[in-house]
Chain A
Amino acid sequence: MDDQNTSRSHALGTKVHRTALRAYARSIDGERTAGAGQSLLSIRDLDVRFRLRGQTLHALRGISLDIYPNETLAIVGESGAGKSVLMKNLIGLLDKNGWVNGGSIIFDGIDLAKLKRERDWSGIRGKRIAMVMQDPMTSLNPLKTVGWQIREALRYNQNMHGKEADNRALELLRDVGISEPERRYRQYPHEFSGGMRQRVVIAIALACGPRVLICDEPTTALDVTIQAQILQLINSLKDKYALTLIYITHDLGVVANVADRIAVMYAGDVVELGSCDEVFFDPRHPYTWALLSSLPQLGTRKQDLYTIEGTPPNLFHPIRGDAFAPRNPHPLEIDFLHRPPYFSVSPTHKARTWLLDPRAPQVEPPEAIRNIRELTRMG
């Protein structure tokens, strides 16, 4: 195990947070087993729907997920899988036409799913759960100085004003690696590059003093060279500010670099959940297989990249059985009839697929991903 870890971290340039791994290892599969009390955020059977043009869209179909203090959880999945909807629920920014149909999100003894009024969210949104958004080019108010925007966060969350707020804002700018903070403080967003703006957005999120930081595709809008810097920055801030990180991404490269645990989402459901190693090197759900197979790094020269046939299911209609079955190259009969429950692979690893049922036939993961480890080792 240790050997695998070092080889992976060597190959992908990552650093796994073993302490965090150990922390949740004792309590994973938190379905009211041993360490359920330890989780910081506990999502149970969350069911979210939207009303769109007279139809009902079933965006989250009963999600259960525990998030543990100081871990980094990555939520992966293709567009429309419900990653962002899930996160919006955590900070009460669900679009107006959406509602929570059932389930709970327990955080600090409060059920966030039950909060209806804006005023109930004050003291939680920002202050305890903050968010970094996808596009730094549009996330900042173009007419206000960067300093002003950081101070606004300090004012509403830390009750900091005047000189104190100025100093704290400068300190934050320094922390996110912006040089000459005194000068930059008075500048407007258009005087910053994309990467620098994302640093400012991170500084604003930190100014709120949150325990949980949600990063919604924080690097998709950035140059590849900047991406690594931003990820590194978030990672280093994680320790300094004792953050629990939730990444939303469809970039498995990002995931491999930062995540302690991975939740794979498909069609409004978490289909596989495990530690980074488990999901990468021992995936169990056919969708995870497909997702990993489409990693460009696995492709061989002059061969088309792997793509998943078909399209995600239409969430306007009820889904029967395993949502992925129609796109699964080797579906089982039962996949079309009954929704699979979670099967535990290890204390930290579970997947929602009938393949894990003892009666299921032995289906091997595709050739291409069986040697991810070898591939990554070769670099």
Chain B
Amino acid sequence: MLVYIGKRLLRSLISLFIIIVVVFCLLRMMPIEGYFPSFDKMTPLQVENGLRKMGLLDPVPVQLFNFFKQLLRGDLGTSMRYRQNYSITKIIANKAPFSIRFGMIAVGISIPLGLGLGVLMARKKGGLWDKFGTVYIVIMQAVPAALYYLFLQLYGTQALNISLLYNPDKLETMILPLISLALPSVAYYAMWMRRYAVDESNKDYIKLARAKGVPGAVIWFRHVFRNAVVPIVQLIPNSLLLTLAGSIYVESLYSIPGMGGLMVDVIKRQDNTMVQALVIVFAVLTIVGLLLGDIFMALVDPRISLTRKAEAR
């Protein structure tokens, strides 16, 4: 098990290294405007001095080495255009808690609800729950989120008699953004859970479990659910970690000062250092998420840790 985790960790570090190098090099090819808040008013000499001060005139390998040193100190650099000379770490630290709070609660609600709904649908396949759930899933997949998000905001705030926008001092204003975030993600988990549970419930070992007299409810929980959840477990760390990215739409609708849309903003403003920092942050989160997903999966599926090459599932 430890060997497995060690190997995965090493591979993740290598991918991360490659991503950082590529992102760094790509951004060095960007126009130099992106390093100055008011490039148009500057003389060429001022620009050159500025670049030299930031070390951007050094050879790229030297720059890269310095950048890694900086990263190891936990410093993502300073923003130049988005917020002038402001530490990027601080910008993220101000915004991330909002996105994470909403995201985590939403995921925390969706996983049990989604998995529960999925199992219910699989168990009574073709029954009322299954039909209802399928309609719900199809709506979530097919209808643009914008539509029901707006409906939810307009009619929801009216019905609950709360303010239209998010107010950190009023807990009840969290309800609607949370529902908005959870709705599609419940559908997502339910869809996959139903599918895996139906697959598992048709397998021979379920027949054997029934033949050996195990009660139906126990079979569904201990055999079907337990085995169907394995491939889903792999997705969970990533969906938790990536809540940091926030949701552009929900956050702007309720004017939540979160991370949603930050990436788009900084690209629009050509803030080179900040684009670089955000891409790296999201890359780290994704890779850590995948790594954790694989480790979780190895924990719940004995075939993975014990066989070198995973058996095809």
Contacts and interface: CB of A to CB of B under 8 A. Distances in A.
Interface in B265-313: 300-303, 306-307, 311
Interface in A101-144: 118, 121-123, 125-127, 130-131, 133, 135, 138-143
A139 B204 contact: yes
Given A141-B205, A143-B230, A126 B306 contact: no
Interface stretch (B108-116, B140-148, B183-191, B212-220): B212-220
Interface stretch (A71-79, A149-157, A332-340, A367-375): A149-157
A201 B208 contact: yes
A131 B204 CA distance: 12
A126 B211 CA distance: 6
A39 to B, nearest CB: 23
Nearest to B208: A139
B303 A204 contact: no
B139 interface: no
Best-surrounded residue of A135, A152, A191, A207 (most CB of chain B within 10 A): A152
Contacts of B223: 141
Interface in A167-213: 188, 190-191, 201, 204-205, 207-208
Query: Range of interface residues on chain A?
Result: 20 to 34
Interface in A206-246: 207-208
A308 interface: no
A91 interface: yes
Contacts of B101: none
Contacts of A152: 209, 212, 214
Contact of B215 (A93, A153, A156): A156
A131 B207 CA distance: 10
A378 B203 CA distance: 44
B190 to A, nearest CB: 22
Contact of B213 (A141, A142, A201, A208): A208
Contact of A125 (B203, B205, B210, B227): B210
A142 B307 CA distance: 13
Interface of B: 203-205, 207-216, 223, 226-227, 230, 300-303, 306-307, 311
Given A122-B213, A127-B213, A152-B214, 16 more contacts: A118-B215, A126-B213, A126-B214, A130-B211, A140-B208, A141-B205, A142-B303, A143-B230, A143-B300, A143-B301, A152-B209, A153-B214, A156-B215, A188-B303, A188-B306, A208-B213
13 contacts: A93-B211, A131-B211, A133-B204, A135-B204, A138-B203, A140-B208, A141-B209, A142-B301, A142-B302, A143-B301, A145-B302, A156-B212, A156-B213
Interface of A: 91, 93, 118, 121-123, 125-127, 130-131, 133, 135, 138-143, 145, 152-153, 156-157, 188, 190-191, 201, 204-205, 207-208
